[in-house]
Amino acid sequence: MDEQELQSKLMEIEMIKQQLGQMDQQRAQINARLMDAEAAAKTIADMKDTKGALDILVPVGGGMFSKATVSDAGKLIVHVGADIAVEKSLPEAKALMDEMTSGYRKMFNDIEADIQNLQNHGESIYSMIEQQSRASQQPEKS
């Protein structure tokens, strides 16, 4: 391996490190969304046993909450995008949340696989550089 090829491989390793850092951030964001979706699905499942009104705490920010009463715990308002929200029954909302959870789980597994593949590629480059370095340091036989 000549000097130019070595520099190229070292640059590739640096690029892989940067990509891994970005992918790790994405993985953390996806994991946070997954945990939020799982918590919401559990809350919805817990709400199905509630009849009539439901006392809840509403977050107002900064770790502060306000007490509130939900008059119809059998329905939820679901944001569907573009500042549009629709009313859904608990089973409909649960099915939607389960679908979201499944999607986040797939995204998480996909990025985990991508990270593993990129790490393996980086390790193979590093191993190739090490082998080449050891071979070039050995004295030539006369």
**pLDDT number for residue 119:** 96
**pLDDT number for residue 88:** 92
Q: Containing domain of residue 125, as a range?
A: 3-48+88-137
Q: Which residue has the higher pLDDT, 88 or 53?
A: 88
pLDDT beyond 90 at 137 = no
The reply to whether 67 falls in a domain is no
**CA atoms of 126 and 118, how far apart (whole Å):** 12
Q: What backbone torsions phi and psi does residue 139 show, to the nearest 5 degrees?
A: -70, 145
Nearest residue to 78 via CA among 90, 93, 91? 93
The predicted-structure confidence for 49-67, as pLDDT tens digits, reads as follows 777 778 889 999 999 999 9
CATH assignment at residue 111 = 1.10.287
The reply to whether 65 falls in a domain is no
The reply to whether 72 falls in a domain is no
Q: How many domains does the chain have?
A: 1
The reply to whether 23 falls in a domain is yes
The reply to whether 79 falls in a domain is no
End-to-end CA distance of the chain: 22
The pTM of this model reads 0.76
